[in-house]
Structure 1
Amino acid sequence: MNNEKPLGKKILDLVGGEKNIQGISHCATRLRMLLKDDQIANKNKAEIEDLNGVISVVENGGQFQVIIGPAVADVYDQLLAGTQLNQETDQNDDHEKNQHGLISGFLDVVAGIFTPLLPLLAGSGVLRGVVLLLNQIGWLPESSGTYHILTAASTAVFYFLPVLLAITSAEKFKVNKYVAAAVMGALIMPEFTQIMGNHGNGVITHFFGIPIVTMSYTSTVIPAILSIWCLSYVERYLKRYIPESLQLLFVPLLSLFIMVPLTAGAFGPFGVYLGEWISNGINILMNSNGWIAGAIVGGAWNLFVIFGLQWAVNPVMIQNISKLGYDFIVPLTAAANFGMAGATLAHFSEPRTLK
């Protein structure tokens, strides 16, 4: 019988145990810990890096980060097992914001929202590419039922992206994720989209006499995040003043009554236009001088990844793909990755003289 501790528990011991961790989260590749006493972890840094399964250890933005790779979610679960670390409090959140600053806090929020969706986005993208390839070579005609079923399977993530983002945003902002999904789901229902008819975005409707600009919210990114961020405050306010015996009914009821019209009238249009402005601005830069834009993005991308700044760019990529069907940024980041692969291959291919 193998009684060896799992990797997560080994890391927990070496950073000073549960009592030394103020807050913990993970992104796509690394554990991110806010420690009460950094000296304990720093003293054991070399030992942590020597653990089987640990790639490296870095410190950034007040966080002690252990780079694991694709298995980070399993290691995270191992570390949390049997502890109270997953039960975060508002006090921890405030402390974390104070320690990290606005930029680090923003990047942490974006990472927490998009990381759970990365496997689905990757799988859907590859499946969509396979479907299009088979269609181009004539093996899968558009008239076939198979084509339509696989197209639906590969593009559903983009159509329902606001709902999926509402769920991950709710988990990050600690709000009822089912209510969050219902708020954004309401804005992509046929009853809502039919208001626009054939005119598209910009049709004016009214909610109790208040004018609302209707938009198409399928495949959008920013409206869901803004809406659920606001919902987190609305829900806390309602729970503060509604008796606990009545919260089961009235908190979801009032949340929907408030947030669906508020999102449709304020957060939704602002988010749609903001996403389009950011996307268009980056695309204009790419079209005006692709060489310079490519050199800047490709050359700086690895530094972005080291400091976690890539999370600020990923929403723009997703916005481009969901709206335009393509993106200019991804190939430039791929060039950076291939550059690293080439340097690594050259390093291992270099002849060495044994001493």
Structure 2
Amino acid sequence: MGKNNHEQVAQAIIESLGGKQNINNAWHCMTRLRFDIKDESLINEEAIKAMSSVMGVQNKNDQYQIIIGTDVNSYFEPLAQQLGINDNQESSSDEKKSMTAMFMDIVSGVFGPIVPAIAGAGMIKGLLAGFQALNWISADSQTVQVLDMLASGVFTFLPFFIAASAARIFKTNQYLAIAIAAAMQFPTMVDAAAAGEIDAFRVFGFIPIPVFNYSGTVIPIIITVFVLSYIYRWVDKVLPKALRTVFTPTISLFVTGLIAFVIIGPIGIHLGNGLARVIAALFEISPILAGIIVGLIRPISILTGLHHAMTPIALQNFADQGYDMLMPMMFMTNMAIAGATLAMYRKTKNQQERSVIISSALSGFLGITEPALFGVLTKYKRGLIAATIGSAVASAFISAFGVRLYGYILSSIFSLPAYIGEYFIFAVLGIVIAIVVAFISATFLSKPAK
């Protein structure tokens, strides 16, 4: 599809949403256009669904979501231009959202744009760990050192990426946000945390700055940029115009930086550690139980958009313990969804619908499950139940054997090499279980077309 066609579709979407004046804000994740709408009664949903580029729509948590697929950015760019969205634009919405809606807006908006970076680096990190486990390369080699720089750079300096992305969501200055992230990861702080000789710095002799290593952390910088957005706007509002160019960034950086060091950073560290401990406690009670619970809720969470809530937990696990056991379960869910979708092929004799089913299943194997969920399994609801069963059984299986990842990757069949090592065989068996159980469950639960 050419550029002009993308622009035409974007224009049609805006018109079907009630026009530019009815859209407070817009952003996107890996597969969906997401909108903050003023008056939902003005939406022409049938017109949107009729567009060939649209796989489905959803209205959840005060977000109107249009499922596009992996080509979503090609549509978002002309859409953003037509809406006049820019980094410093403030939302015109004065409606109060629920805490859940606000949380999902933030998580999906922050992590969506940076997924390619963390997924690419995570794939290299996973492969590197697997090759070392198989003794194919020496851990002391310069090859490993260079590849580790490529793999670990994103995760070590993750706060920089999150700061830039969060600044777009909170409509504040990206470079000030990055500056604060840089301050929190400055060698003085990192070295002090590594040495463990002091618990806190003293500013002006009496303000304590607790010492923590913020490398790879998620929650502290998100909260900090949120606070920065309000401080920056307030300072810019109260200062005379002649002083704003120099003193707005100076005061904003100073005040927000101190708040981040004294309050937000420590609280964010403890919150992140708390989330990781909750997950760890669940695994300590029973890895199988943990697998069943995560496997059961994952398909529904993707449907509702709540699946993004697991991303900060997984990233925190990588930062704290060097590995994560949640992402392999997400992998199992995707395979189960693809397996259940394939089983729906026998539910219809319509060749066009069968084509949709096959393409949606293939997309699921490649890690993009929205086409399968919204295009197929929401229609054949017993297929969705089957996918959930397959997801739970396979997740319980791999959890029982401790399958884990050492870097963030997309949950695609092509990501399997990242599991090379002692858990590889269990990951492969888990995939087989997910697909077979989901397929057989869907076959028995659903009746074939006559």
TM-score (norm 1): 0.89
Q: Pick closer, same or farther for the CA change 1:263–1:327 going to 2, 3 Å.
A: same
The amino acid that maps onto 1:74 is S
- Please name the residue that 1:185 is paired with: 182
- Please name the residue that 1:329 is paired with: 326
The amino acid that maps onto 1:120 is A
Q: Pick closer, same or farther for the CA change 1:256–1:12 going to 2, 3 Å.
A: closer
Question: How many Å apart are 1:247 and its aligned residue?
Answer: 1.9
In structure 1, how many angstroms separate the alpha carbons of the residues matched to 2:87 and 2:132? Answer: 49
Q: Pick closer, same or farther for the CA change 1:134–1:309 going to 2, 3 Å.
A: same
The amino acid that maps onto 1:28 is M
In structure 2, how many angstroms separate the alpha carbons of the residues matched to 1:23 and 1:186? Answer: 30
Q: Pick closer, same or farther for the CA change 1:194–1:37 going to 2, 3 Å.
A: closer
The answer on 1:151 being equivalent to 2:148 is: yes
Question: How many Å apart are 1:88 and its aligned residue?
Answer: 8.1
The higher-RCO structure (CA 8 Å, 6+ apart) is: 2
Structure 1 gaps, min length 5: none
Check whether the contact 2:31–2:69 (CA below 8 A) recurs between aligned residues: yes
Q: Pick closer, same or farther for the CA change 1:135–1:59 going to 2, 3 Å.
A: same
TM-score (norm 2): 0.71
- Please name the residue that 1:63 is paired with: 63
Question: How many Å apart are 1:354 and its aligned residue?
Answer: 8.9
- Post-superposition CA distance 1:271-298 (Å, at most 9, x none): 1111001111111112212222222211
Q: Which of the residues 288, 293, 296 maps onto 1:296?
A: 293
Check whether the contact 1:195–1:205 (CA below 8 A) recurs between aligned residues: no
The amino acid that maps onto 2:20 is E
Question: How many Å apart are 1:49 and its aligned residue?
Answer: 2.1
- Please name the residue that 1:230 is paired with: 227
- Post-superposition CA distance 1:118-165 (Å, at most 9, x none): 111110111112222333344432333222111011111111011211
Check whether the contact 1:286–1:328 (CA below 8 A) recurs between aligned residues: no
- Post-superposition CA distance 1:61-92 (Å, at most 9, x none): 34332111121122111223334355886562
In structure 2, how many angstroms separate the alpha carbons of the residues matched to 1:183 and 1:19? Answer: 34
Question: How many Å apart are 1:186 and its aligned residue?
Answer: 1.2
Q: Which of the residues 167, 170, 193 maps onto 2:164?
A: 167
Partner-residue secondary structure (3-state), 2:43: helix
Residue pairs, 1:6-155, within 5 angstroms: 6-42=8-44, 45-84=45-84, 90=90, 92-95=92-95, 98=96, 100-155=97-152
Partner-residue secondary structure (3-state), 1:92: coil
- Post-superposition CA distance 1:249-308 (Å, at most 9, x none): 222222232222321221111111110011111111122122222222111111111111
Q: Pick closer, same or farther for the CA change 1:351–1:303 going to 2, 3 Å.
A: closer
What fraction of aligned residue pairs are identical, expressed as a percent?
31
Q: Pick closer, same or farther for the CA change 1:23–1:143 going to 2, 3 Å.
A: closer
Partner-residue secondary structure (3-state), 2:242: helix
Question: How many Å apart are 1:55 and its aligned residue?
Answer: 0.8
In structure 1, how many angstroms separate the alpha carbons of the residues matched to 2:329 and 2:117? Answer: 22
The amino acid that maps onto 2:256 is M
The amino acid that maps onto 2:56 is S
The amino acid that maps onto 2:100 is I
Check whether the contact 2:89–2:171 (CA below 8 A) recurs between aligned residues: no
In structure 2, how many angstroms separate the alpha carbons of the residues matched to 1:197 and 1:275? Answer: 19
Question: How many Å apart are 1:207 and its aligned residue?
Answer: 0.6
Check whether the contact 1:169–1:228 (CA below 8 A) recurs between aligned residues: yes
- Please name the residue that 1:318 is paired with: 315
- Please name the residue that 1:198 is paired with: 195
In structure 2, how many angstroms separate the alpha carbons of the residues matched to 1:24 and 1:73? Answer: 12
In structure 2, how many angstroms separate the alpha carbons of the residues matched to 1:91 and 1:127? Answer: 38
Aligned residues: 348
In structure 1, how many angstroms separate the alpha carbons of the residues matched to 2:127 and 2:49? Answer: 39
In structure 1, how many angstroms separate the alpha carbons of the residues matched to 2:319 and 2:193? Answer: 20
- Please name the residue that 2:204 is paired with: 208
The amino acid that maps onto 1:309 is L
Check whether the contact 2:24–2:91 (CA below 8 A) recurs between aligned residues: no
Q: Pick closer, same or farther for the CA change 1:48–1:240 going to 2, 3 Å.
A: closer
RMSD, aligned α-carbons: 2.5
- Please name the residue that 1:283 is paired with: 280
In structure 2, how many angstroms separate the alpha carbons of the residues matched to 1:159 and 1:68? Answer: 32
In structure 1, how many angstroms separate the alpha carbons of the residues matched to 2:159 and 2:38? Answer: 36
